[in-house]
């Protein structure tokens, strides 16, 4: 996938898109997401800030780490610049339209469920102590494009 195709996917999912090729900021509902690509290194990422880390307690940080293993599937919770983020990172050229759409949905859902089910989809990998609790949670539906 290239930047033009990725931009089309973003526009089909987002309520509003700003930016230029390889650097987009877009909104879904009231949440701001960012997509950055690097053609030279064949990388892309979609991210959204969740909360400043000083507002988190140890339990919330540990729950996010556990979710990275069990309930945040293709996205991860990560800390950078004193912010907790929901992050999807992938090789750009190999990314498909379906993967890009799914990535946007998962980044959004992981951010929206932070503090509750910490999940990016309905799927929960076995072994999670909270797996039964998480299966009752719903991911947040996005605009269908």
> Phi and psi dihedrals of 58, rounded to 5?
-60, -40
Average pLDDT value for residue range 64-68: 97
| The pLDDT of residue 80 is above 80 | yes
> In this predicted structure, what is the pLDDT of residue 134?
43
| The pLDDT of residue 144 is above 60 | no
pLDDT digits (tens, 9 = 90+) for 13-63: 999 999 999 999 999 999 999 999 999 999 999 999 999 999 999 999 999
| Residues 102, 107, 112, 114, CA torsion sign | positive
CA distance 126 to 85: 24
> In this predicted structure, what is the pLDDT of residue 112?
98
- Residues sharing a CB contact under 8 Å with residue 65, sequence separation 6 or more, in sequence order: 77
Q: Are 113 and 119 in contact (CB under 8 A)?
A: yes
Average pLDDT value for residue range 85-94: 98
> In this predicted structure, what is the pLDDT of residue 111?
99
pLDDT digits (tens, 9 = 90+) for 94-129: 999 999 999 999 999 999 999 999 999 987 777 655
Domain coordinates of the chain in residue numbers? Answer: 3-135
Please tell me the CATH code under which domain 3-135 is placed: 3.30.1460.10
> In this predicted structure, what is the pLDDT of residue 140?
56
Helices (H) and strands (E) in the chain, counts: 4, 6
Nearest CA to 107 among 144, 56, 67, 72?
A: 72
């Amino acid at each position: 996938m290239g930047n033009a195709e990725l931009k089309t996917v973003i526009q089909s999912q987002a309520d509003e898109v700003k930016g230029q090729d390889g650097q987009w900021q877009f909104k879904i509902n009231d949440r701001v997401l960012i997509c950055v690509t690097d053609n030279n290194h064949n990388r892309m990422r979609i991210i959204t800030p969740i909360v400043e880390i000083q507002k988190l307690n140890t339990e919330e940080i540990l729950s996010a780490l556990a979710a990275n293993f069990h309930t945040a599937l293709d996205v991860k919770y990560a800390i950078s610049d004193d912010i907790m983020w929901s992050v999807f990172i992938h090789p750009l050229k190999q990314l498909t339209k379906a993967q890009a759409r799914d990535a946007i949905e998962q980044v959004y859902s992981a951010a929206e469920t932070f503090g509750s089910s910490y999940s990016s989809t309905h799927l929960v990998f076995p072994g999670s102590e909270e797996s039964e609790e998480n299966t009752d949670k719903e991911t947040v539906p996005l605009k269908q494009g």
